[in-house]
C-alpha cells in the first residue's frame, strides 16, 4: 500500500457528512422502535449487510426482530415496524416490499440518500443520510466522495445504526453486559 492514508481521508469525509443528518428524525425512529411490537428489517447489497448488523443489535437489546426473507420471519401484526435501508430508495424488490407493508398497515421507516425516492413517498419516517451513488436521482446534499459507489452511505449507515443503539441503551437503561446475555451461544 502506498503512503496515502485513505483511512484518515474516509474518516474525515464521514465526519463532514454528519452535518447533514437530521437528529430529530433519528429521535422519531428511536421512539417507533421502542414502541413496536416486532421490528422487521430489510435491505439489499451492502446496505442489506448494514441493516442486518442493526437487526442483530436490536435483538441484543431485547427487541423482537426479523429480517425479511428469512424462513423464520413471522406474520405481521398490529404495531409492527418495517425498517428499510436503501441508498437509492428505488431497489425494485424493496419498493415492492414497502408497498405491500403499507397496504397491510405497517409503519415504515426508510434510511436512504433520497428523500424523493419511491420508498420515501410512502414511508412514515425518513432518515436521510449523506452519500453519493450512480443510482441516486435526487442529489440535494451536493457532497462528493473519494470512495466508490455508495460506500460513504453504507459506512454512515453502520455508524447511524450504532448511534441509535447507544441512544436506546441510554433511554432504557440497558448495559452491554445485559445485551451480551442475549448474544448467540451456538456459533
Find all residues with CB under 8 Å of 98, minimum gap 6, and list them. Answer: 82, 84, 108, 110, 118, 119, 122, 123
Residue 125 near residue 109, CB atoms below 8 Å: yes
C-alpha cell at position 111: 434510511
The CA distance from 15 to 167, in Å, is 19
Given 70, 139, 154, 178, which residue is catalytic?
Answer: 154
Q: Tell me if residue 154 is catalytic.
A: yes
Q: CB atoms < 10 A from the CB of 175, how many?
A: 9
The CA distance from 14 to 2, in Å, is 22
- Going across the sheet that includes 125-128, the strands are 65-67, 39-43, 81-85, 107-112, 125-128
Catalytic residues, by residue number, are 154
Amino acid at each position: 500500500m502506498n503512503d496515502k492514508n485513505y483511512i484518515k481521508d474516509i474518516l474525515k469525509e464521514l465526519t463532514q457528512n454528519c452535518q447533514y443528518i437530521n437528529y430529530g428524525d433519528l429521535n422519531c425512529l428511536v421512539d417507533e422502535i421502542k414502541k413496536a411490537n416486532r421490528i422487521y428489517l430489510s435491505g439489499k447489497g451492502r446496505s442489506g449487510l448494514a441493516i442486518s448488523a442493526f437487526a442483530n443489535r436490536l435483538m441484543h437489546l431485547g427487541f423482537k426482530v426479523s429480517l425479511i426473507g428469512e424462513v423464520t420471519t413471522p406474520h405481521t401484526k398490529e404495531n409492527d415496524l418495517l425498517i428499510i435501508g436503501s441508498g437509492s430508495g428505488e431497489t425494485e424488490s424493496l419498493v415492492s416490499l414497502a408497498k405491500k407493508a403499507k397496504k397491510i398497515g405497517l409503519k415504515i421507516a426508510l434510511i436512504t440518500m433520497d428523500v424523493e425516492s419511491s420508498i420515501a413517498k410512502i414511508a412514515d419516517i425518513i432518515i436521510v443520510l449523506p452519500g453519493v451513488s450512480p443510482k441516486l436521482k435526487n442529489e440535494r446534499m451536493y457532497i462528493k466522495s473519494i470512495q466508490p459507489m455508495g460506500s460513504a452511505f453504507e459506512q454512515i449507515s453502520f455508524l447511524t445504526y450504532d448511534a441509535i443503539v447507544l441512544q436506546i441503551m441510554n433511554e432504557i437503561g440497558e448495559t452491554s453486559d445485559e445485551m451480551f446475555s442475549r448474544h448467540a451461544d451456538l456459533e
